[in-house]
Structure 1
Amino acid sequence: MLRENKTLINSLFASALLWATPLVADTATPFTPFTASYEIDWDGSISLSGSTTRKLQKSESGEWLFESKASAMFASIYESSKFTLENAKLKPLNYSFKRSVLGKKRKAEVHFDWQNQLVTNKVENKPWKMPITEGVQDKISYQLLLQQAVAKGDKEFQYSVADGGKLKEYNFIVDGKESIKAPIGEYEAIRVKRVRKEGSTRQTFIWFAPELNHQIIKLHQIEKKNKAYTLLLKELKK
């Protein structure tokens, strides 16, 4: 049971951190600083609840910092992406990951060297390095681009992400519209589905609310049979 609980918590927070996406700004600048809070409920062999806080801010030097913090009983995860904008294009500089689950800790740092087109991961016991090309994102920076694309009215999305020593393609499609009730209120939302490999039992649906500047108002992910979690927006501050 202890191992199963740890697996559930890992899956819950890793996925929750992956999806709570920030605001799209006006046309003068691609992004607007914000703080967004979500509640998370896990439905499986055990019941868990927790919260996630996402924050986007810009430094005086012009660099951006996108942070996500999740916590629940016996677990916490922190992720951050430092990036810059060059000709309105997002270029990740450094990705950080820290996790503590049932006393077990793990951390990783991913550095993007655009001059030499290399990305290096300083992860415990398994460091890796690989070449990259223009447009490659880290494991959370691409979410900002997805948010923008949905706001533009695009219907299909594909992102190349440096993940685990490989370049992985993350694919999504618009899957319809739906009225969503969340702690922050009830809003019409655009439903986006992640496209996974044929035969995968995992499913991910994300709802973006146009009235909230296309903020994610809900996320629902099915990990496997009888195991799923839901994330709902409860507070949003500019």
Structure 2
Amino acid sequence: MRTLKLPRTLLAGFALAVFTTAALAAPPTPFTATYQVSRDGEAMGEATITLKSLGHGEYEYSNQIHGTSGLAAMLGANSSDVTRFRWNNDAPETETYNSKVSALKTRQRVMQVNWNAKQVSVNEGKGVTTYAATPGMVDRNTMSLALGLALRAGNQNVTLPVGVKQRVEQQQFKVQGTESIKVPAGSFQAERVTRTDSDKHFDAWYVPKQFPLPVKMAQSDGGDLTLELVRYSSP
């Protein structure tokens, strides 16, 4: 096993081309990545992201965040996002996605994709919403991995179909340049990627030749969260 621990995702980023379904990407290699998580500049906890191969082109991608500091620790704040996806046409495609957030009360989202019927169903405990599936569709959990695979394939302008509560969003990302960045895992020359189709703040710094996930990610959706890579290991 190769382990990197050098002296956070949730979520992600990013031959000039518009990229839709991670074309030409090789299947991902299983890994475990640990991130330091902060909210509004204050330490919040730790995220552990794992990718496991289930065989026959099936994978499980898990993102577990545990509140270990400040208010997050006092409230017992934790989140669990687990996706099962298939590798299809050189791209990840979501099959099931389960999200659970606990802090005083629990919120849950269950997404299921019936690829034979090309239909998505989403249940947040108040009834089921359905809509048409789009080839190459991922979910908000696996979006950052899909972006990393797109970068590894040499793309700098990326459009990904992302299944959300009531529809598929064609989320657009662009590499803005290369920057020097320092995180707990070390110092890197990283590609900074921003989302260009939304006013929600999203920046991610990737080193695609080394990692399929960002070494740092900052976003406003769901709170001003920042993730910084602490360590990464793969077989």
One-letter amino acid of the counterpart of residue 215, structure 2: I
Report the 3-state secondary structure (helix = DSSP H, G, I; strand = E; otherwise coil) of the residue aligned with 1:216.
coil
113 and 216 in structure 1: CA distance in 2 versus 1, 3 angstrom threshold: same
Q: Structure 1: 5+ residue runs without aligned partners?
A: 1-14, 22-26
| Residue pair 1:63, 1:84 contacting (<8 A) in 2 also | yes
Distance 2:183 2:25 in 1: 30
- Matched with 1:30 is 27
1:88-237 → structure 2 map (5 Å cutoff): 88-101=90-103, 103-197=104-198, 200=199, 202-210=200-208, 212-222=210-220, 228-237=224-233
Q: Where do 5+ consecutive residues of structure 2 fail to align?
A: 1-7, 15-23, 68-72
Summarize the alignment of residues 34-113 of structure 1 with structure 2, pairs less than 5 Å apart.
34-43=31-40, 47-72=42-67, 73=73, 74=75, 75-101=77-103, 103-113=104-114
Shift of 1:154: 1.4
What is the correspondence of 1:6-17 to structure 2 with a 5 Å cutoff? 16-17=9-10
**Structure 2 counterpart of 1:67, one-letter code:** S
Please report the TM-score for the alignment, with normalisation by the length of structure 2. 0.80
Preserved contact between residue 78 and residue 102 of structure 2 (Cα < 8 Å): yes
- Higher helix fraction (1 or 2): 1
How far 1:109 sits from its partner (Å)? Answer: 1.2
1:162: how far off?
1.5
Call closer, same or farther: CA 1:230–1:122 in 2, change over 3 Å: closer
CA contact (8 A) 1:205 1:219 kept: yes
Q: 1:158 to 1:117 in 2, by over 3 A?
A: same
8 Å CA contact retained: 1:62, 1:84: yes
Work out the CA distance in 2 between the residues paired with 1:20 and 1:174: 8
Aligned in 2, Cα 1:49/1:178: closer, same or farther, shift over 3 Å?
A: same
Residue 17 of structure 1: SS of its match in structure 2?
coil
**What is the root-mean-square deviation of aligned Cα atoms in Å?**
2.6
Report the counterpart of residue 11 of structure 2 in structure 1.
18
CA contact (8 A) 2:13 2:147 kept: no
| TM-score when normalising by structure 1 | 0.79
Distance (whole Å) between structure 2 residues aligned to residue 158 and residue 221 of structure 1: 18
Counterpart in 2 of 1:4? Answer: none
Q: Identity over the aligned pairs, expressed in percent? A: 26
Greater relative contact order structure (CA < 8 Å, 6+ sep): 2
Aligned residue pairs: how many? 211
| 1:179-223 CA distance string (max 9 Å, x none) | 1111111111111011143xx3x3211100245235411112356
Q: Distance in 2 between matches of 1:174 and 1:230?
A: 19
| Cα contact 1:56–1:65 (8 A) shared by 2 | yes
- Residues 169 and 104 (structure 1), Cα distance of their counterparts in 2 relative to 1, 3 Å cut: same
2:217 partner amino acid: L
Q: Which amino acid aligns with 2:180?
A: S
